[in-house]
Structure 1
Amino acid sequence: MTTPAIIWDVDGTLVDTAEQHFRAWSRLASEIGKPFTRADFAATFGMRNPEILRKLFYPDADDQLCRDLGERKEDLYRASVRDEGTQLLPGVAALVSAFADAGWPQAVGSSAPTGNLDLLLGLTDTRRYFSAVVTGDDVRRGKPDPEVFLTAAEKLNAAPSRCVVFEDAVAGVEAAKAGGMKCVAVTFVGHHPADKLRAAGADIVVASLAEVTVAQVAALVG
């Protein structure tokens, strides 16, 4: 049997810090005099900051402006997370531990910048489970491009065909499938409905990761 390699998205999958992200974007938008709505947030959740900034605020923004505004947004976000803390979503702790016990390699593949992931993995005490952490800073193209997941697979020395990605966003599911990987999608935080995740190609869609078993995941690559 082929041993699966597991790649985790973070925001909306491992943890839910969406409200902190929404408040940070709202505050940044206010500072630069631009509108920002819940619909804007939902439409761009899971994208890298440069893509969000160009899509919502400045279509012709150069890399430096994207860096400056992105750093401001993330400073606001991290301050909020440090103040409020965060917890793993239902089922995550048991699954991460079960995959480790089974000897399956695990990585993080996230659009978030390095500083955010360091903070979140530290607060949730999960860093030790991941042989590789690939961030939005490590790739040139964001989801739905598969670069972040292909980079994670390479770092795990795993063929894409044996990788199973855990995601909550349509762009993330599309990225996993574009990379030739299996995908388990979770609707717990409610950013994307089950039918949209299925339409994007998710192999399994669950309301909570507490529903997912090691055997189910093994069968995806078996």
Structure 2
Amino acid sequence: MLNFDAVIFDMDGVITKTATVHSLAWTKMFNEYLQSREKKYKEPFKEFTHVNDYLPYVDGRPRYQGVDRFLKSRNIDIPFGDANDAPDAETVCGLGNRKNEFFNKILEEDGVELYDSTIALVNELLAKGIKVGVATSSKNCDIILGKAGIQNLFQTQVDGVVSANLGLKGKPEPDIFTTAADNLEVAYDRAVIVEDAVSGVQAGAKGNFGLVIGIAREHNADELKDNGADIVVEDLSQLSIDEINKLIAAKKVTS
């Protein structure tokens, strides 16, 4: 007997190997901006890095929220602006839009790679009648899944565009996951969340889902576990449907 009815996957770093592309685009955009501030405002340049800046302030969050959080970490105060700002505008939204230009350029040149183990699990779930959804902060979800040719695998897609339209709060709030579960008509305690970002496992824990699986792509197993993941693996090839089912049963006994 199955203890769950659906699995909801994050996209970048879980389904697709695009987390690295995001990190590269953020790094290029922020370092160019910080260098421009050095020239314009005589501020000492301090490099934006993957470990010290991308992971704690940007990873897994909606684009403009990521810009805002990082700038605040450096005590940089600029206007928020709006989503229609040009990529050269010195606003939170302008910087976010500039990052997106860099991201799309890299994506166009390099294409989209998939985690084969994730796709294998998705297909096994569907074969057993378990519902599958994708929930991501990315506004590029349509483009990425379309380029990868896998949009047909997911019965619901809650992304950055949907979040903006519905006014959903970004991670670490659970809104995108609860909305995906609602769309699938599945109770939260009968749904599994799969995430690779700290903000994502925090969101899964806040939503009281049946199980939160963390994928430690960044050698951050302890951090994922400490922030809400019930189980942490390096890759989904380490888990079977039967093992997921047993983990949910064990969690119910101990909770």
Query: Based on CA coordinates, which of the two structures has the bigger radius of gyration?
Result: 2
Secondary structure in structure 2 of the residue aligned to 1:183: strand
* 1:95 Cα deviation after fit: 0.2
Residue type at the aligned position of 2:106: S
Corresponding position: 1:10 with 2:11: yes
Give the structure 2 partner of residue 62 of structure 1: 80
* 1:201 Cα deviation after fit: 2.1
TM-score, with structure 2 as normaliser? 0.79
* 1:66 Cα deviation after fit: 3.5
Whole-Å separation in 1 of the counterparts to 2:227 and 2:62: 19
Matching residue within 156, 173, 185 for 1:157: 185
Residue type at the aligned position of 2:174: P
Give the structure 2 partner of residue 86 of structure 1: 112
Secondary structure in structure 1 of the residue aligned to 2:95: helix
Residue type at the aligned position of 1:217: I
Deviations, residues 41-89 of structure 1 (Å, cap 9, x unaligned): 1212111112211122255532514433322211210120121112212
CA contact (8 A) 2:18 2:113 kept: no
Deviations, residues 103-148 of structure 1 (Å, cap 9, x unaligned): 11111110111xx211221232221111111012322321111111
Q: Kindly tell me: are residues 126 and 52 of structure 1, through their superposed partners in 2, closer, same or farther at Cα, counting changes over 3 Å?
A: same
Unmatched runs of 5 consecutive residues or more in structure 1: none
CA contact (8 A) 1:167 1:185 kept: yes
Corresponding position: 1:210 with 2:210: no
Whole-Å separation in 1 of the counterparts to 2:29 and 2:145: 25
Whole-Å separation in 2 of the counterparts to 1:167 and 1:209: 11
Secondary structure in structure 1 of the residue aligned to 2:183: helix
After TM superposition, the structure 1 stretch with the greater mean CA deviation from structure 2, 42-51 or 160-169, is 42-51
CA contact (8 A) 2:215 2:234 kept: yes
Give the structure 2 partner of residue 186 of structure 1: 215
After TM superposition, the structure 1 stretch with the greater mean CA deviation from structure 2, 85-94 or 178-187, is 85-94
Secondary structure in structure 2 of the residue aligned to 1:91: helix
Give the structure 1 partner of residue 198 of structure 2: 170
CA contact (8 A) 1:161 1:221 kept: no
CA contact (8 A) 2:4 2:192 kept: no
TM-score, with structure 1 as normaliser? 0.89
CA contact (8 A) 2:78 2:92 kept: no
CA contact (8 A) 1:49 1:66 kept: no
Higher relative contact order, chain-length normalized (CA < 8 Å, sep 6+): 1
Corresponding position: 1:127 with 2:151: yes
After TM superposition, the structure 1 stretch with the greater mean CA deviation from structure 2, 117-126 or 93-102, is 117-126
After TM superposition, the structure 1 stretch with the greater mean CA deviation from structure 2, 14-23 or 208-217, is 14-23
Q: Kindly tell me: are residues 147 and 61 of structure 1, through their superposed partners in 2, closer, same or farther at Cα, counting changes over 3 Å?
A: farther
Unmatched runs of 5 consecutive residues or more in structure 2: 38-46, 83-90, 250-255
Whole-Å separation in 2 of the counterparts to 1:170 and 1:72: 25
Secondary structure in structure 1 of the residue aligned to 2:157: strand
When the two chains are superposed, the root-mean-square deviation of aligned CA atoms in Å is 1.9
Give the structure 2 partner of residue 46 of structure 1: 60
* 1:193 Cα deviation after fit: 1.1
Whole-Å separation in 1 of the counterparts to 2:225 and 2:174: 18
Whole-Å separation in 2 of the counterparts to 1:73 and 1:54: 13
Secondary structure in structure 2 of the residue aligned to 1:144: coil
Give the structure 2 partner of residue 22 of structure 1: 23
